[in-house]
Amino acid sequence: MSHNLLKLIMIVMVVFIVSACGKNAEPEISHGQHSTKNGDLQETTAAPDKLPSFLNKYPETTKIVYQLAAQNKDLMKWIPCYCGCGEEAGHQSNLNCFIKVTKSDGTTTWDDHGTRCATCMDIAIKVAQMNKDGRSANEIRSAIDGAYSKGFASPTQTPFPQ
């Protein structure tokens, strides 16, 4: 993905996403999906490159951010989320805002929390951009911690890159 495209996504998101992490008022549940206690919807697909069907009703930019999360999943587990989802949803990293777990056979359980949360998407895009720029996991972790330490919720309890 080109830098220009990532920049475009950021601009689009700033314009269109103004809400903080909302809760699903009436989650639409269909086969293969279930709702967690806090209202977040989860759906399992066969592989990390098979996006969940709950994304169908969202704009292309949302799908791209989920794709970025899946492509960077081994990095994003070291990156905290600063939207408050650690306390509200029990997330352990920014990855959990998009993907709850990927099993060894590739089976991936997705979470729709990220569709409603500008902070989560913002962090995921920044991580993808820095990764593309060749920054190390430690550098990316420090940059995110530095950028979100003031004015955001307390971070998820996320281990440092190893």
Q: Which positions touch Zn ion (CB under 5 A)? A: 21, 81, 83, 85, 97, 117, 120
- For residue 87, the minimal CB distance to Zn ion (Å) is 11
- For residue 62, the minimal CB distance to Zn ion (Å) is 13
Residue 4 or 125: the one with the smaller Cβ distance to Zn ion is: 125
Residue 65 or 117: the one with the smaller Cβ distance to Zn ion is: 117
80, 83, 84, 86: CA torsion to nearest 10: -30
State the sign of the Cα–Cα–Cα–Cα dihedral 144, 117, 131, 72. Answer: positive
* Cα–Cα distance for residue pair 123/125, rounded to 1 Å: 5
Residue 64 or 69: the one with the smaller Cβ distance to Zn ion is: 69
Question: Which has the closest alpha carbon to 112: 47, 45, 14, 46?
Answer: 45
Find the DSSP H helices in 51-149. 60-71, 73-76, 85-88, 118-132, 137-148
Residue 25 or 104: the one with the smaller Cβ distance to Zn ion is: 25
The CA radius of gyration of the chain, in Å to the nearest whole number, is 15
Residue 51 or 97: the one with the smaller Cβ distance to Zn ion is: 97
State the sign of the Cα–Cα–Cα–Cα dihedral 117, 99, 112, 64. Answer: positive
Residue 35 is classified by DSSP as E
